[in-house]
């Protein structure tokens, strides 16, 4: 995890909630509303776990990364 290691080149892949949800809709055959709800719940739970265990705010504290790459315009494959 980039927050725990100082060495290496670190890349964060960023995607908007809307694009992530659209990808879930395609993959899981669910509605956009279901996808957004699932993503919000997963992101919040994951954030709380990492904050509690390691003390950093996953998805918000991007300071350890050398580059942040926006993937909204990229195809998943």
CB 47 within 8 A of CB 58: yes
pLDDT in tens, 6-57: 788 999 999 999 999 999 999 999 999 999 999 999 999 999 999 999 888 8
pLDDT in tens, 16-29: 999 999 999 999 99
Domain that holds residue 50: 11-67
Provide the 10 A C-beta neighbour count for residue 21.
Answer: 22
31 in a structural domain: yes
4 in a structural domain: no
Instruction: State the total domains in the chain.
Output: 1
CB 65 within 8 A of CB 10: yes
50 in a structural domain: yes
76 in a structural domain: no
> Cα separations (Å) of 51 from 2, 31, 62?
14, 30, 14
């Amino acid at each position: 995890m980039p927050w725990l290691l100082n060495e290496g080149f670190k890349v964060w892949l960023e995607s908007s909630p809307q694009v992530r949800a659209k990808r879930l809709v395609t993959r899981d055959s669910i509605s956009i509303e279901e996808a957004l709800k699932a993503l919000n719940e997963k992101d919040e739970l994951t954030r709380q776990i990492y904050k509690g265990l390691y003390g950093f705010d996953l998805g918000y504290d991007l300071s350890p990364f050398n580059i942040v790459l926006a993937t909204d315009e990229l195809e998943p494959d």
